[in-house]
């Protein structure tokens, strides 16, 4: 199928007839399921609840605002596979009208609210992926055949006709699933909670629209005619209504009294119910209330910081894993996966807003704080979108820490492998060996220095000879 034909068929603006087909009418009738509170709950009405909208946006932000890339494992390191056709599709332009962020944001809304997200996989003549077209879940029906393969029947938006596609042409992201075929409907599972939130909000709105919401009652001794009532009302508005007249004392005559109205117990419970629904909806979407701006009075900065970390670990990371696993399985071939290609989110980008935390992380990653490094300076520069520097592809470690061999003993300088497959040939061998010797245990350094001093007699003023001795010394695994 041509990609333009598929696009116009699914996203056509005009139908051939203004009347609904039977299938469309049935779909319309099924689109909303009535909760016990009396309101219809589906993904559209659920988004009218601010808590649902906020939870969905926080999850979609976690999926769409960090980079996603195609990587390739090469021996003991990984590199960005910029030459792979899928790299630009995922990282920059999935299709002609969406950026990578917009595309992933749409998919996140689909899978968070309906449990499923679908994309048509557009391929070129060489069968390489050239674009990904999101499809509304309501238009897709999944069929599982007896040979355990899947087909996807998609209903067009133009005339309601349906076409069936094999699983190789549809990228399907499942949410938590019971039958392993499609994801469970989160809004349907939380129907009563979301329905009660809708009902309480609607009833609260009706109170403001139709109820008498006076702040108090002004009564006088005797009877007021229409003229005096109008004059008294105007006098109260002019002198006691509005922010500028707040807390102003009221002086009355003719045995007049002012009786303020207070919130009734029913009103208090109504507000408390709405607060409870916020917490329950957050539980349903696995988002902490503090993440959507609802905080308790006893929270401190330290506790809030830990809650934000918990959100990244327990909410965002599972979604990253779900998406990356799905991309690896459906957008990469078995041969590409065997060659070392895989997709992944750059989760370290979450540290970008906090320069202090990022600097501390980089410091430890480079070997600060008495720890062996697991990142090279060029790795760090790559995260910051900076150019690599010559001689910055080495891992560093404190002088009293050395590489450990399979037998658990310190390895000698000639057995320590460099951090990258290709070393910089401009670096003198003596310097490289000297650094490697500095990595063995301090007791070995002491023995080498003592042996070197005994060999040359007086080490004072003969540092070069000592270093040459160190460069030639071999430290065997048994420490001899």
pLDDT of residue 320: 94
Whether pLDDT at 172 is above 90:
yes
Say what percent of the chain tops pLDDT 70.
68
Distance CA 80, CA 186 (A): 35
Specify the DSSP element, H or E, that contains 110: helix 100-114
**How would you write 214-281 as a 3-class SS string?**
CCEEEECCCCCCHHHHHHHHHHHHHHHCCHHHCCCCCCCCCCCEEEECCCCHHHHHHHHHHHHHHHHH
- Give me the mean pLDDT over the 29-57 stretch: 85
pLDDT of residue 446: 55
- DSSP for 310-327 reads HHIIIIIHHHHHHHHHHH
Q: Where do we find the tokens 């500095």?
A: 438
pLDDT of residue 159: 67
Whether pLDDT at 183 is above 90:
yes
| C-alpha angle 358-360-365 in degrees, rounded to nearest 5 | 95
Distance CA 60, CA 107 (A): 8
Q: Which residues of 294-326 are buried (b: 16+ CB within 10 A; e: fewer)?
A: eeeeeeeeeeeeeeeeebeeebbeebbebbeeb
- Choose between 163 and 262: higher pLDDT: 163
- DSSP for 370-423 reads T---SS-HHHHHHHTT----TT-------TT---B-TTSSBPPTTTPPPSSSS-
Which of the residue ranges 193-202, 326-335, 353-362, 388-397 has the most confident prediction, judged by mean pLDDT? 326-335
User: Residue 470: which of 225, 457, 458, 440 has the closest Cα?
Assistant: 440
Tokens matching residue 176: 């938590």
pLDDT band of residue 125 (cuts 50, 70, 90) is: confident
User: Residue 69: which of 92, 52, 99, 47 has the closest Cα?
Assistant: 92
pLDDT band of residue 50 (cuts 50, 70, 90) is: very high
**130-134, 275-279, 328-332: which has the minimum mean pLDDT?**
275-279
Distance CA 22, CA 139 (A): 15
Model confidence pLDDT, tens digit, residues 392-405: 887 776 666 655 45
Backbone angles phi, psi at 40, to 5 degrees: -80, 135
pLDDT of residue 59: 96
pLDDT of residue 459: 47
- DSSP for 426-479 reads TS-HHHHHHHHHTTS-HHHHHHHHHHHHHHHS--TT-HHHHHHHHHH----TT-
pLDDT of residue 265: 52
pLDDT band of residue 359 (cuts 50, 70, 90) is: confident
Model confidence pLDDT, tens digit, residues 435-450: 444 434 445 555 566 5
- Within a 10 A sphere around the Cβ of 89, how many other Cβ atoms? 22
pLDDT of residue 171: 96
pLDDT of residue 468: 61
Average pLDDT over the chain, rounded to an integer = 77
Q: Are 291 and 263 in contact (CB under 8 A)?
A: no
Whether pLDDT at 338 is above 80:
yes
**39-48, 85-94, 114-123, 234-243: which has the minimum mean pLDDT?**
234-243
């Amino acid at each position: 199928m041509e990609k333009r034909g598929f696009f116009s068929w699914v996203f056509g603006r005009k139908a051939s007839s203004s009347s609904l087909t039977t299938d469309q009418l049935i779909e319309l009738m099924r689109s909303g399921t009535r909760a016990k509170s009396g309101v219809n709950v589906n993904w559209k009405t659920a988004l009218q609840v601010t808590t649902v909208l906020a939870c969905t946006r926080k999850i979609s932000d976690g999926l769409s605002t960090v980079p996603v890339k195609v990587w390739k494992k090469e021996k003991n390191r990984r590199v960005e596979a910029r030459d792979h056709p899928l790299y630009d599709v995922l990282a920059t332009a999935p299709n002609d009208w969406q950026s990578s962020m917009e595309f992933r944001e749409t998919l996140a809304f689909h899978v968070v609210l309906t449990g499923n997200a679908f994309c048509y996989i557009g391929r070129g003549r060489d069968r390489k992926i050239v674009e990904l077209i999101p499809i509304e879940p309501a238009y897709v029906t999944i069929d599982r055949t007896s040979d355990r393969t899947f087909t996807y029947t998609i209903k067009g938006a133009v005339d309601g006709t349906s076409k069936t596609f094999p699983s190789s042409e549809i990228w399907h992201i499942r949410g938590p699933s019971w039958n392993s075929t499609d994801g469970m409907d989160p809004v349907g599972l939380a129907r009563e909670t979301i329905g009660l939130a809708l009902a309480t909000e609607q009833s609260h709105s009706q109170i403001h629209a139709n109820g008498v919401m006076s702040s108090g009652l002004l009564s006088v001794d005797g009877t007021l005619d229409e003229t005096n009532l109008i004059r008294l009302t105007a006098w109260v508005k002019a002198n006691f209504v509005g922010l500028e007249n707040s807390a102003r004392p009221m002086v009355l005559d003719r045995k007049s009294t002012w009786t303020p109205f207070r919130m009734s117990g029913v009103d208090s419970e109504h507000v408390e119910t709405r607060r409870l629904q916020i917490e329950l909806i957050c539980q349903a979407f696995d988002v902490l209330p503090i993440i959507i701006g609802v905080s308790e009075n006893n929270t401190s900065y330290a506790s809030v910081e830990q809650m934000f970390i918990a959100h990244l670990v327990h909410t965002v990371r599972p979604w990253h894993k779900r998406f990356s696993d799905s991309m690896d399985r459906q957008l990469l071939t078995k041969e590409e996966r065997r060659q070392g290609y895989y997709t992944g989110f750059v989760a370290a980008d979450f540290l970008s807003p906090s320069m202090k935390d990022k600097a501390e992380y980089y410091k430890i990653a480079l070997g600060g704080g008495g720890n062996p490094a697991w990142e090279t300076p060029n790795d760090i520069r790559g995260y910051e979108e900076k150019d690599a520097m010559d001689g910055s592809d080495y891992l560093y470690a404190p002088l009293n820490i050395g590489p450990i061999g399979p037998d658990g003993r310190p390895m000698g300088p000639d057995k320590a492998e460099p951090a990258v497959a290709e070393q910089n040939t401009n670096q003198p061998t003596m310097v490289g060996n000297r650094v490697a010797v500095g990595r063995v245990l301090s007791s070995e350094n002491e023995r080498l220095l003592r042996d070197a001093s005994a060999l040359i007699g007086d080490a004072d003023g003969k540092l070069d000879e000592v270093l040459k001795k160190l460069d030639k010394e071999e430290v065997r695994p048994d420490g001899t």
